[in-house]
Every structure is written in C-alpha cells, then in structure tokens.
C-alpha cells in the first residue's frame, strides 16, 4: 500500500538542446496562428486569391498573340501580381504585427528571456513562424501557377520547373524582406495595431506615391523608394523580361540592405528591451 500526495516533484531526465527549444516556440506559434479565425481567413483568402489571379495573368499572357513562343519571361506577369502586395501587407499586419508586440505588451518577453535561449533564438523562432505564412502568398501562388500551366500544356515542363526555381528565389527574397520589416515594426511598440499600420504605411505609403510621382515627374528612379517596385524589378530581371525602368541590381541591393538593417536593428532593440522594462 502506498500514499502519494501531490508534492514538490523532481525532473529525472536531462534537458533537450537549443534546437528543440527554438522549435517549441515555432511549433506553438504556428499552431496558435492556424487556430485563429482572423489569421485563417486572411491566409486562405490570400493564398486562394493570389493563386487564382496569378494563373489568370499567366493564362491571359499566353492567349494574347505577342509573336513569342511561350517562354520564361511570361512568368514575370504573375510574379508582379499586385494582389501579392495587398495580401502580404494584410498577412503581415494580421499575423506578424503581434508576434513581438504582444510579448512586450504582456511582458511575456521576460519569461522567454529567463529560459535557456538567447535573444537571437527568440527572434529566429518568431521569424520562422511568420516566414512560411508570408510565403503562402509570395511563393506558393507562383509555384501553383507554373504547375497548372505546365499541366494544361501552355509551357513545357522544363520551362515550368525553371520558373518554379526562380520563383522560390525571388519569392523568398520578398518573404525575407517582409518578415524582417514586420518583426522590426512589431518590436517597436507594445501595441500591435501600430506595427500593423506600419506595414501598410511602408507598402502603400511608399509604393503608391512613388508610382504617382514617377508618372507626374517622369523620373523613374523615384521607384527605388518603393519596396514593391524594387521587388518587381528584381523579379522581371530574374525571369528575363524587359526592364521596368529601374536597375535590378540596385533594387536588389536596396531590398537586401533594408532586410539586413531591419533584422539588425530588431536584434539590438531586443537586447536592450529588458533594460527598458526593468
């Protein structure tokens, strides 16, 4: 016979390594997003809408007689699909904006930091939650469009596969950019609303004025101000289509530079945040 009362109990097994700890944050974070109605709606709508429009753009390009045989350049169309911009903004603000801001608001950030992980681990985990979800509108539609087009026989499989490869690279670039920017904005304030508004401001506040000004003034270098136009320049160049008027190499440098800068600033801020809340 024995009696066991609830008491202070001991842990008998050793702790797992750092990779599993980071993975726990990612898995829990992803699961949480996949259960949130707002996030699901945005993701489903975003993925569906961008995919359908991308396929439509590709389809229209092939039936309009352009005197060209279907080739890789046709894919520049879906890659610069404006709906991607819209949904990436929506997704970043609905899902990404709260990733760090919520932890600052609830001060759960202290809890994370009191665990055996580093600030960098925390940031990488948060990035790893956001990136795959953003990729659902930046990479997935391009892949599906290429797949569908190849199945329907518009393109040869060689071209389609090549297009998918390029899509992963340019879509990946856009994904990284938005992940870094969103996390940066999210780390700035305790209110996720501000971060969410910031994402829209960065996108439309820069893209639309830049495009309008370009038309009014006629100087295309203003487009370097717009992340979206930079991305489009890189994407069209990657697919070998005719230039949009700005140099793709400069555009690429700007995108990468901003991405790295945003990531760095976020990291430095996270290191300092504990001191501020103390």
Partner 1 sequence: MLVETAGLTKVFGEVRAVDDLTVKIPDGAIGLVGPNGAGKTTFLRLLLSLLRPTAGTAKVLGRDIEDGLAVRERIGYMPEHDCLIPDMTGVGLVSYMGRVSGLDRDTAMSRSHDVLQFVGVEEERYRKVAEYSTGMKQKVKLAQAMVHDPQLYIFDEPTTGLDPRGRSEMLDLVGTIAKSPGRNVILSSHLLPDVETICKYIVILDGGHQIAAGELSQLLSGGTDRLRIDVRGDRDAFARLLKDAGFDADAGPSGLHVSRKPGLEAAVFETAKSLGAEVRYMGKEIRSLEELFLELVARTEKPGA
In the complex, least distance from residue 1 CB atom to partner 1, rounded to whole angstroms: 22
The Cα–Cα gap between 261 and 198 comes to 17
Q: Which stretch binds partner 1 (CB under 8 A): 21-29, 167-175, 200-208, 240-248?
A: 21-29
Residue 25 touches partner 1, criterion: CB under 8 A: yes
Contacts (CB under 8 A) with partner 1, residues 259-278: 274-275, 277-278
Q: Which is nearer to partner 1, 105 or 189 (CB)?
A: 105
Angle 103-104-108 from CA coordinates, rounded to 5°: 50
Contacts (CB under 8 A) with partner 1, residues 165-224: none
Q: Which is nearer to partner 1, 191 or 220 (CB)?
A: 191
Residue 37 touches partner 1, criterion: CB under 8 A: no
Number of shown-chain residues binding partner 1 (CB under 8 A): 36
In the complex, least distance from residue 196 CB atom to partner 1, rounded to whole angstroms: 17
In the complex, least distance from residue 172 CB atom to partner 1, rounded to whole angstroms: 27
How far the first Cα of the chain sits from its last, in Å, is 51
Contact 18, 114 (CB under 8 A): no
Distances (CA, A) of 14 to 11, 17, 20, 58, 219: 8, 9, 13, 54, 63
Token pair, residue 224, equals: 């370097």
Distances (CA, A) of 218 to 56, 206, 209, 212, 254: 31, 17, 13, 9, 21
Place of tokens 């790295």: 260
In the complex, least distance from residue 110 CB atom to partner 1, rounded to whole angstroms: 5
Token pair, residue 82, equals: 């404006």
Residue 15 touches partner 1, criterion: CB under 8 A: yes
Q: Which stretch binds partner 1 (CB under 8 A): 25-33, 136-144, 157-165, 219-227?
A: 25-33
Site string for partner 1, 90-129 (x = CB under 8 A): ------------xx--xxxxxxxxxxxxx-----------
Contact 163, 75 (CB under 8 A): yes
Residue 8 touches partner 1, criterion: CB under 8 A: yes
Residue 26 touches partner 1, criterion: CB under 8 A: no
Distances (CA, A) of 172 to 108, 109, 119, 128, 168: 30, 28, 24, 13, 6
Q: Which is nearer to partner 1, 119 or 207 (CB)?
A: 119
Residue 40 touches partner 1, criterion: CB under 8 A: no
The Cα–Cα gap between 234 and 251 comes to 7
Q: Which is nearer to partner 1, 3 or 215 (CB)?
A: 3
The Cα–Cα gap between 136 and 139 comes to 6
Residues found near partner 1 in the complex (CB under 8 A): 6-11, 13, 15-18, 20-21, 24-25, 28, 32, 102-103, 106-118, 274-275, 277-278
């Amino acid at each position: 016979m024995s009696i066991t009362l609830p008491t202070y109990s001991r842990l008998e097994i050793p702790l797992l390594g750092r990779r599993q700890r980071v993975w726990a944050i990612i898995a829990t974070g992803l699961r949480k997003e996949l259960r949130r109605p707002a996030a699901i709606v945005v993701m489903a709508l975003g993925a569906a809408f961008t995919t359908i429009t991308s396929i439509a753009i590709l389809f229209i390009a092939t039936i309009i007689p352009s005197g060209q045989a279907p080739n890789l350049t046709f894919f520049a169309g879906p890659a610069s699909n404006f709906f991607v911009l819209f949904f990436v903004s929506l997704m970043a603000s609905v899902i990404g904006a709260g990733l760090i801001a919520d932890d600052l608001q609830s001060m759960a950030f202290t809890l994370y930091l009191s665990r055996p992980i580093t600030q960098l681990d925390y940031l990488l985990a948060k990035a790893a939650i956001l990136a795959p979800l953003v990729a659902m509108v930046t990479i997935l539609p391009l892949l599906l469009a290429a797949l569908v087009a190849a199945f329907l026989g518009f393109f040869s499989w060689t071209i389609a596969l090549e297009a998918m490869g390029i899509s992963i690279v340019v879509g990946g670039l856009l994904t990284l950019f938005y992940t870094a920017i969103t996390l940066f904005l999210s780390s700035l304030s305790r209110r996720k609303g501000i971060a969410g508004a910031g994402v829209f401001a960065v996108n439309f506040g820069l893209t639309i004025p830049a495009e309008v000004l370009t038309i009014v003034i006629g100087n295309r270098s203003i487009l370097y101000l717009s992340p979206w136009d930079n991305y489009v320049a890189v994407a069209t160049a990657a697919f070998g289509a005719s230039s949009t008027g700005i140099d793709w190499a400069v555009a690429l440098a700007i995108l990468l530079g901003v991405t790295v800068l945003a990531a760095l600033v976020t990291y430095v801020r996270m290191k300092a945040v504990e001191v501020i809340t103390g």
